Structure 1
Amino acid sequence: MDVMFNIEMIKSLMKTDPAAAAVKINEFIEKQNNTPLNIAITGESGSGKSTFINYFRGMKNDDEGAAPTGVTETTVDVKEYPHPKYPNVIFSDLPGIGTTKFPADKYLELVELEKFDFFVIISNTRFRENDVKLAKEIQKMEKKFYFVRSKIDNDLQAEARGKRNFNEQETLQKIRSDCIQGLQKEGFDSPQVFLLCSFDLHLYDFPLLHETLERDLSELKRRALLMAMPNISLEVINEKKKALHSKIKYLAAASAVGAAAPVPELSFAVDIGVIAAAVTRYVLSFRLDIPSLKRLANTTDVPYDDLKQVILSPLVGVNITPELIMTVLGQLASVASLMAREEAFRYIPIIGIPAAAAFSFAGTYKALSHFLNMLAEDAERVFKRALGLNSSE
């Protein structure tokens, strides 16, 4: 959290200058939601980098705006692919180092490597000379890079063909060891190689890559990555829930600021507006919007209707409007009571406005916590249904 911002400071500022408090809250929320994250992806043509970029962005290879795929394609310029739901997260496909247009001695300057937060170097075989050159240039800049060995599913299928005693874990370890030994010969002391299948990011080493990235990034960059991350595991869903819950107090403070304004019914409108906007973000973060659910159905071969059947929340698959929020809140007696008290206390002299602000804060906090828990549980059920997991797993 920003050390210059805390909830106690906002509470104090609300008493003396509600307008300034509102500005501070909005600035903080904006910063949290729009922290830029620039991810560089590089590798030889056909290595699987475009599929990796597309899957991470929640897109299929043939979707409009997807990174082009194909073994004959060559990246001749830096190509940027913003995440469709989180445009602050940008994936950049880098051209190869040492080409005529990007000679090794000018690569850093021409590609502007310093602007990237980290680098993913992808290969579907062994890591090549150009991969090594780039990694060494990144090392000089003291930035993070990660070796990814892609298309592991193809290797496993080829290795298993015609064998009676095929052992998947032994094969994976052999591939990993071969990659590491090759990189050690190139001068990397303790390289870490992540084995992935871009079509099934929940398999193999992607969860480990995610954990490593989270450990290496700053708090705001880590949050940006998490929100853009596909739901590759129940742990990721739970981390999203925790991250979103940690911001509820600031959203509730924004509602309380609205309650501090002596305008009838303004506070209620602010409360509902804040809740509706937050719930919309929750649905997107948990990939419960219709396009994401249909894409999940296509990639897992689980019918879309089957995924929808496990969703219990009335907030999925519909337009999140203030009217819908009001209808659902009407079914939550504790929240409705807090909001009613907020309006009732507003007209009491001296103590009325502070009391209304307190009820507004409590009501919005309780409502958002309820909706967040509800949607997180839906996301878990959808994930388990998509992967054929039973409720005990």
Structure 2
Amino acid sequence: MDIPHDDEQIAEIKKELQTNGSSSATAKIQTYLDKLDNVQLNIAITGECGSGKSTFVNAFRGIDNSDKERAAPTGVKETTIKVTPYPHPNYPNVTLWDLPGIGTTKFPADKYLKLVEFKRYDFFIIISADRFRENDVKLAKEIQKMKKKLYFVRSKIDHNIRDEEETRGSEFNKEETLKEIREDCIQGLKGRVESPKVFLVSSRKLHLYDFPLLQKTFQEELPAHKRDALLLALPNVSLEIIIKKKETLQARIKYLAAVSALGAAVPVPGLSFAADIIMMVFTIRQYQVTFGLDSESLQRLAQTVRVPLDELKAVMTSPLAGNEISKDLIIKILSSSVAFLSLTTAEEGSRFLPIFGIPAAMGLSFLTTYKSLKMFLDMLAEDAQKVLKKALGLNTPL
């Protein structure tokens, strides 16, 4: 999907407005936003059977292994017998593909890439529970020949750490153990795979070890539009992810405010405000889900980190906290803002001014919508950081 850069898109919208009017410009903005929301990202998860592929797929999507309807099945035997797509529950444009273990009877190594339809995927993650083996190396070489991105994930690291601690006792050093495991994996791949990147991950504790580094690497190496699609779908396992999500969502507010401004060009009192509120409710609900603050996400987080749900909810301080996002709630919060009331009153009043009334109303509508959405985004991002700190037992100030 070809998506213009931000500056190019703004220039195109201005040209559309000047050439074909506000309705056409509004449609162009909406088309652009729809494209952003529907960027397809396909991630292939592969490796030998029993490596923890399915558990990783579930953790990445924020789905518990016990969720019979949406989870990739897990077990001690090979449970993936065919290429299976698992769309993200909140961002279905992002799909993780659980691929059968390489080297099985139905998927021999020499025919593997063809059988799993290699060209479909944006990048590959090869997972192993111990060391990467010959089949992993063969697959990696073929992937690199095709100029696709490839990452090695050494799974079940929490098990290794626990076993080493029990074995070494007082001589155990966590950082040294992690370094040894990583270097052992890299040495096993060096000379056989070009510039191997190995990440140590516990699917049950994604906030630990190398998962934050893995997601940072994704961000650095994916094209911009794919990068944003992945970022919004990532689980909130670090403060950095929350901050980057906020930045990405904030960059889109100007387009929503522009739609509001163009809607204000229609000389019907109250129509612009009514349309803006509907748009805000929809957008703020998206923010809530993206930051994991909806009821389902909070419940899942509470179960994962074993912190009572009420304790997670208690740290949220915004007026949105613990409430269903509705038109009445948004109007109530906005009505308590003197600045919002002043801008809205000025917008409606300006409509009756000759010549300059409509342009003034459009400018005020843009400003009102921009400031309002930014306020709600700030609220939810701050609540998300507080919830994550509580979930991870962090006591440092924001």
- TM-score normalised by the shorter chain: which range applies? over 0.9
User: Using the alignment, how far apart are the partners of 2:390 and 2:280 within structure 1?
Assistant: 28
Query: Does the alignment pair 1:27 with 2:21?
Result: no
SS of residue paired to 2:171: coil
SS of residue paired to 1:120: strand
Q: Partner residue of 1:292?
A: 297
Structure 2's unaligned 5+ residue stretches are none
Seq. identity, % = 57
Question: How much does 1:98 deviate?
Answer: 4.1
Question: How much does 1:72 deviate?
Answer: 1.0
Question: How much does 1:273 deviate?
Answer: 1.6
Q: Determine if contact 2:155/2:203 at 8 Å carries over to the other structure.
A: yes
**Deviation by residue 1:86-122 (Cα, 9 ceiling, x = unmatched):** 0000000112334443344443332111110011100
Q: Partner residue of 1:344?
A: 349
1:249 to 234, 251, 254: 254
Q: Partner residue of 1:192?
A: 197
Give the 5 Å matches for 1:130-279.
130-162=135-167, 163-184=169-190, 187-279=192-284
Question: How much does 1:214 deviate?
Answer: 0.7
1:383 to 388, 393, 397: 388
Q: Determine if contact 1:14/1:257 at 8 Å carries over to the other structure.
A: no
What amino acid maps onto 2:335 in structure 1? G
Q: Partner residue of 2:88?
A: 83
Query: Does the alignment pair 1:10 with 2:7?
Result: no
Q: Partner residue of 1:354?
A: 359
Question: How much does 1:387 deviate?
Answer: 0.9
Query: Does the alignment pair 1:324 with 2:329?
Result: yes
User: Using the alignment, how far apart are the partners of 1:8 and 1:260 within structure 2?
Assistant: 20
User: Using the alignment, how far apart are the partners of 2:203 and 2:166 within structure 1?
Assistant: 21
SS of residue paired to 1:96: coil
- My pick for the range that moved more, 125-134 or 6-15, is 6-15
SS of residue paired to 2:215: helix
Q: TM-score, normalised by structure 1?
A: 0.96
User: Using the alignment, how far apart are the partners of 1:13 and 1:360 within structure 2?
Assistant: 20
Query: Does the alignment pair 1:37 with 2:41?
Result: yes
- My pick for the range that moved more, 116-125 or 69-78, is 69-78
Give the 5 Å matches for 1:47-86.
47-63=51-67, 64-86=69-91
What amino acid maps onto 2:174 in structure 1? E
Q: TM-score, normalised by structure 2?
A: 0.94
SS of residue paired to 1:119: strand
User: Using the alignment, how far apart are the partners of 2:47 and 2:336 within structure 1?
Assistant: 53
Label 1:106 to 1:165 Cα distance change in 2 as closer, same or farther (>3 A): closer
Q: Determine if contact 2:137/2:193 at 8 Å carries over to the other structure.
A: no
User: Using the alignment, how far apart are the partners of 1:115 and 1:8 within structure 2?
Assistant: 33
Question: How much does 1:133 deviate?
Answer: 1.7
SS of residue paired to 2:163: helix
Label 1:190 to 1:144 Cα distance change in 2 as closer, same or farther (>3 A): same
**Deviation by residue 1:45-104 (Cα, 9 ceiling, x = unmatched):** 221111111111111100121000101134221000000000000000112334443344
Q: Determine if contact 2:73/2:79 at 8 Å carries over to the other structure.
A: no
What amino acid maps onto 1:52 in structure 2? F
User: Using the alignment, how far apart are the partners of 1:145 and 1:270 within structure 2?
Assistant: 45
Question: How much does 1:263 deviate?
Answer: 2.5
User: Using the alignment, how far apart are the partners of 2:235 and 2:210 within structure 1?
Assistant: 14
Q: Determine if contact 1:96/1:130 at 8 Å carries over to the other structure.
A: no
SS of residue paired to 2:170: coil
Q: Determine if contact 1:283/1:316 at 8 Å carries over to the other structure.
A: no
User: Using the alignment, how far apart are the partners of 2:141 and 2:99 within structure 1?
Assistant: 15
User: Using the alignment, how far apart are the partners of 2:220 and 2:10 within structure 1?
Assistant: 26
Q: Which runs of 4+ in 1 moved over 4 A?
A: none
Question: How much does 1:370 deviate?
Answer: 0.6
**Deviation by residue 1:333-385 (Cα, 9 ceiling, x = unmatched):** 11221111111112223211111111100000000111111111101110111
User: Using the alignment, how far apart are the partners of 2:239 and 2:17 within structure 1?
Assistant: 39
